[in-house]
Amino acid sequence: MPPIDRLPQPMTGLILSGGGARAAYQVGVLAAIAELLPNAEYNPFPVIVGTSAGAVNAVGLACGALQFREAIQRLTNVWRAFHSNMVYRSDWSGVVGQASRFIAQHMLGFAGSAPVALLDNRPLRALLERELDFSGIAAAVRQRQLHAVAITAFGYESGQAVTFYQGRATIDPWFRHRRVGVPTRLKLDHLLASASIPLIFPPVKVNREYFGDGAVRQAAPISPALHLGASRVLVIGVSGNLQHEDANAVVSRVRGAQPPSLAQIGGHMLNSTFIDSLESDIESLERINLLSRLLPDVARARLGIRPVDVLVISPSQPLDQIAARFRHELPRAVRPFLYGSGATRSSGGAVLSYLLFEPGYCNALIELGYQDALAQQAAIRRFLNLDGAPPAP
């Protein structure tokens, strides 16, 4: 198989956004893409970038980049068998004990030696330690089947979105307003930091600073892939794909002014964190592409503007509605804490859609992602130039 450096350019980047349990959708899309590849070993994404739960999928792909289809299968197997107790303590003693520690530290002022959040995610650490072999990243980079992989976390002290990346030595770090790129050898703490949703999961100390979910204040989610050398990007989003809905249809659903539940408020805050920045960045990139095509070559070179092809695959159905159908899967010990907030009602499905790490819901998202990708397989084949990909050995 020829190394990536000799493959036809441009270099393709994969963007995997955050979203808790919603990231199961990404696995379904990737499974469909893997079936389209003529070579099971071929990695069509030299640059892989992930944030939050998307960072888990990104690192899983990068660790197995030498056997791409096999890496997808491993990810799929994990997500299909997911239960909440594999991500956070969901038993009565674990939930009540964690809630008591949270109240004691953050509301009563009893300081502790370690940060405390609403949920204890030590099971997630144990799961990732079992499933991920970080040495696979270095091996893939060394054999030129991976140019770089990056995950973003938010520094609570510095207020910066820090992209930790591992890849070719020719990649320079970058410094922008409140976002920097730092070369490093990725470890489990980087990944857990990127996936630590504020207040829900505890921050993780990396070097001298505590970090949390990378989606917080990540103004330009696509930017890291471009800094790492990607000249076109495939974005797998986790929004409800309502951006194409007619505005009048949205307004017509508003039946009357009802006080928002705590779950509705929380859902909008989570959507703002995980979805809005990515969709805004896609819109900005599309405008830059339009401007670039209108400018003569000399002007583009002077301004440093180059078009970046973008293909977006996002859910064809609202994920909060799917989550509401599976709310009965929520662990019994967690239900009382979400019942009062309205998260177990259909109007509170947005919060549920981020936390419902259960087989029924995750498998429904995997199937939806798979079908959505197959519906766009012609566009995917053109975008990835699969007809020109390396033939199967």
Residue 242 pLDDT class (50, 70, 90 cuts): very low
Residue 347 falls in the annotated catalytic set: no
Rounded Cα gap, residues 265 and 85, in angstroms: 26
Assign 315 to helix, strand or coil: coil
The torsion of the CA quartet 145, 148, 151, 152, rounded to 10 degrees, works out to -160
Other C-beta atoms lying within 10 Å of the C-beta of residue 287: 10
Angle between helices 68-80 and 24-36 (to 10 degrees): 150
Helix (H, G, I), strand (E, B) or coil at 7: coil
What integer pLDDT is reported at residue 6 of this predicted model? Answer: 46
Instruction: Answer yes or no: 213 catalytic.
Output: yes
Catalytic one of 17, 196, 213, 223: 213
Q: Are strands 204-206 and 47-51 parallel, antiparallel or unpaired?
A: unpaired
Query: Which range is least confidently modeled, 120-124, 256-260, 302-306?
Result: 256-260
What tokens appear for 316 in the block? 């064809």
The pLDDT assigned to 100 comes to: 83
pLDDT, position 378:
94
Q: Which residue has the tokens 């070719």?
A: 168
User: What are the pLDDT digits (tens) for 114-143?
Assistant: 777 788 899 999 999 999 999 999 999 999
Q: What distance in Å separates the CA atoms of residue 222 and residue 277, rounded to the nearest whole number?
A: 10
User: Strand locations in the chain, DSSP E?
Assistant: 12-16, 47-51, 148-155, 161-167, 174-176, 179-183, 204-206, 209-213, 232-236, 309-313
Per-residue model confidence (pLDDT) at position 155: 92
For the segment 83-109, the average pLDDT, to the nearest whole number, is: 82
DSSP 100-129: HHHHHHHTS----SS---SS--HHHHHHHH
pLDDT on residue 8:
47
Residues with Cβ within 8 Å of residue 284, at least 6 apart in sequence: none
For residue 242, which amino acid is it? L
Structure tokens at 339: 């019942």
Which residue, 117, 80, 82, 83, is CA-closest to 102?
A: 117
Contact 236, 30 (CB under 8 A): yes
Question: Token pair of 141, please?
Answer: 């980079």
Q: Work out the mean pLDDT of the chain and round it to a whole number.
A: 82
What are the tens digits of pLDDT across the range 158-179?
A: 989 999 999 998 999 999 888 8
Tokens 């039946």 map to which residue?
A: 255
Residue with tokens 């592409």: 289
> Alpha-carbon torsion 289, 293, 296, 297, what sign?
positive
Residue 52: closest CA among 203, 352, 274, 265: 274
Rounded to two decimals, the pTM is 0.85
pLDDT, position 32: 96
* Rounded Cα–Cα distance for residues 46 and 72 (Å): 15
Q: Are 193 and 201 in contact (CB under 8 A)?
A: no
Q: In the prediction, which pLDDT does 348 show?
A: 54
Rounded Cα distance, 21 and 1, in Å: 35
285 pLDDT band (50/70/90 cuts)? confident
